[in-house]
Chain A
Amino acid sequence: AQSVAQPEDQVNVAEGNPLTVKCTYSVSGNPYLFWYVQYPNRGLQFLLKYITGDNLVKGSYGFEAEFNKSQTSFHLKKPSALVSDSALYFCAVRVDGGATNKLIFGTGTLLAVQP
């Protein structure tokens, strides 16, 4: 079965420090991987995606993610955290095979950046 795991419910980091939000996946075939961010009472905002090509993907607001096929991981990173980065982050994978755009989401990781 296809699945996405975000092992940390919450990540705490001081402003200015680097941050990592972890994501691992399990799919058959080649994955399309996504990171979305959600602010309180808002929808999901697209950050970045990996479909093919370079394993290091750069996205919005200084975020990047590295696709690691051997470890089936797609961790989200940022070199220097801002207080405004505090939000709920979701990793998602597109189900492979067939004509569908269905996404399977992780449970989300709450990022708290302290000033």
Chain B
Amino acid sequence: KAGVTQTPRYLIKTRGQQVTLSCSPISGHRSVSWYQQTPGQGLQFLFEYFSETQRNKGNFPGRFSGRQFSNSRSEMNVSTLELGDSALYLCASTLTSGGFYEQYFGPGTRLTVT
């Protein structure tokens, strides 16, 4: 089956602009989580969506937002970009069913803010 897909793979934006990243989970997975990876802070949890509802949020400013659609695809948006937002943004797709659990990551979107 197809894996987690993220678009675009690479993005260059200017400080002050806004950006939208997209994540399509594995078919049947209803949970999508987003992470930011930077050399200094490592992997940090942004938020999680399940059945179109945000059910957990990390410690990031309100400039970071997200949503999930009825087909489980998710988008995250960063407004008023800052240089420090340059990072690899990873999306994770999760399926839990009874005692079964699997979580897979997409290839990431590399965002560079200049």
Contact = CB atoms under 8 A, between A and B. Distances in A.
Contact of A49 (B56, B101, B105): B101
A16 B94 CA distance: 35
How large, as a class, is the contact surface on chain A? 20 to 34
B17 interface: no
B55 A99 contact: yes
Contact of B107 (A42, A99, A100, A105): A42
A9 to B, nearest CB: 12
Interface residues of B, number: 28
Interface stretch (B43-51, B68-76, B78-86): B43-51
Nearest to B10: A41
A41 B110 contact: yes
B107 A43 contact: yes
Interface centre among B42, B43, B56, B105 (most CB of A within 10 A): B43
A43 B33 contact: no
A51 B42 contact: no
Interface centre among A41, A44, A90, A104 (most CB of B within 10 A): A44
Interface in B71-114: 88, 90, 92, 94, 96, 99, 101-108, 110
Interface in A90-110: 90, 92, 99-105, 107-108
A43 B103 contact: no
B31 interface: yes
B101 A103 contact: no
Given A43-B90, A44-B90, A108-B42, A101 B48 contact: yes
A45 interface: yes
B96 A101 contact: yes
Contact of A101 (B58, B103, B107, B110): B103
A102 B99 contact: no
Interface of A: 32, 34, 36, 41-46, 49, 51-52, 90, 92, 99-105, 107-108
Given A103-B33, A108-B43, 16 more contacts: A32-B101, A43-B6, A43-B90, A43-B105, A44-B90, A44-B92, A45-B105, A46-B104, A92-B43, A99-B50, A99-B55, A100-B55, A102-B56, A102-B58, A105-B35, A108-B42
